[in-house]
Each structure stands twice: as structure tokens, then as C-alpha cells.
């Protein structure tokens, strides 16, 4: 993320509200995937695995130019997780992505990047980040 530009501006999607809901229902543009990978300093394969999109589906979406609503929701979950982790590490994106890729005791030894397939898992990661930000021992 650049200094004054929010992640959501870089991705070209609203962070919340009816406009976000509509964007997710319509399907995020393929460019959002590329922007998110770049913002989080992940290669395409790592982001693809994190959001549970097969190589064949990703190729198809690149040709079609748009993700399904379900795939868009998983991309949004990763963006939320990444933004929250960067906040936890006070803007240090490198530390955030390192944390996202490591097993975390407060998540039962799971890696946050592996917990994006379901909304319950991603919420558990966001809850843990909130607890850590407020000094609650997890």
C-alpha cells in the first residue's frame, strides 16, 4: 500500500456498505486479484491457494475478466485479513504477511492464510487480531 492510499482504493472496491455488497454480488474484476497480490506482496499462486481458486478457474476468470460472487467474497476476506494484520503490525506490511504465513498458537497452530475458505475461519482470525490489538492474551 502506498502512504496515503488505502488498500480499498488500490483494489478499486468499497470497504463496506451497499456498494461493496453490490460489487461482490456482481463479481470482482480480475484486476482486483492482481492488485491484491501486488499489495500483499504475494505471488499469484500463493494468493490463488489462499482464496481456494484452482489454476484452471483462475485462467478462466482471467479470460472472463470477473470472479464469481463466492470467489469475490474470498478475495474480500483475504483483503480484510491483510488490512487487519497490517494494522496489528502498525503499518509494517512485511511483518503482517510474515505473520499471516506462520502457524499461530491462538488459531490452534493454523496459519491465518489457510483460514480464508469459510467466513467462520476468517472471522476467527479477525477476532484474534482484535484481541492482540487490545492486549488480550489469546
The pLDDT confidence band at residue 5, using thresholds 50, 70 and 90, is low
Question: What whole-number distance in Å separates Cα of residue 58 and Cα of residue 6?
Answer: 25
For 133, phi then psi, to 5°, come to -65, -30
For 51, the grid coordinates are 482464496
The alpha-helical segments, DSSP class H, found in the chain are: 7-11, 18-26, 30-39, 44-50, 55-64, 69-88, 93-100, 119-133
pLDDT value for 15: 86
pLDDT digits (tens, 9 = 90+) for 8-55: 999 999 888 999 999 999 999 999 999 999 999 999 999 999 999 999
pLDDT digits (tens, 9 = 90+) for 71-100: 999 999 999 999 999 999 999 999 999 999
Domain range summary for the chain, segments of one domain joined by +: 9-133
Question: What whole-number distance in Å separates Cα of residue 51 and Cα of residue 74?
Answer: 5
Q: Is the pTM higher than 0.85?
A: yes
Specify the 3-state DSSP secondary structure of 2.
coil
Q: Is the pLDDT of residue 137 over 90?
A: no
Amino acid at each position: 500500500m502506498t502512504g496515503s492510499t488505502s488498500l480499498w482504493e488500490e483494489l478499486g472496491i468499497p470497504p463496506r456498505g451497499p456498494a461493496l455488497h453490490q460489487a461482490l454480488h456482481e463479481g470482482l474484476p480480475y484486476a482486483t486479484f492482481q492488485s491484491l497480490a501486488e499489495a500483499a506482496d504475494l505471488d499469484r499462486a500463493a494468493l490463488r491457494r489462499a482464496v481456494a481458486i484452482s489454476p484452471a478457474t483462475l485462467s478462466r476468470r482471467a479470460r472472463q475478466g470477473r470472479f464469481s460472487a463466492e470467489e469475490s467474497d474470498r478475495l474480500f476476506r483475504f483483503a480484510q485479513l491483510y488490512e487487519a494484520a497490517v494494522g496489528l503490525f502498525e503499518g509494517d506490511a512485511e511483518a503482517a504477511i510474515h505473520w499471516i504465513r506462520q502457524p499461530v498458537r491462538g488459531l490452534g497452530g493454523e496459519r491465518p492464510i489457510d483460514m480464508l475458505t469459510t467466513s467462520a475461519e476468517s472471522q476467527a482470525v479477525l477476532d484474534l487480531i482484535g484481541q492482540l490489538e487490545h492486549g488480550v492474551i489469546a
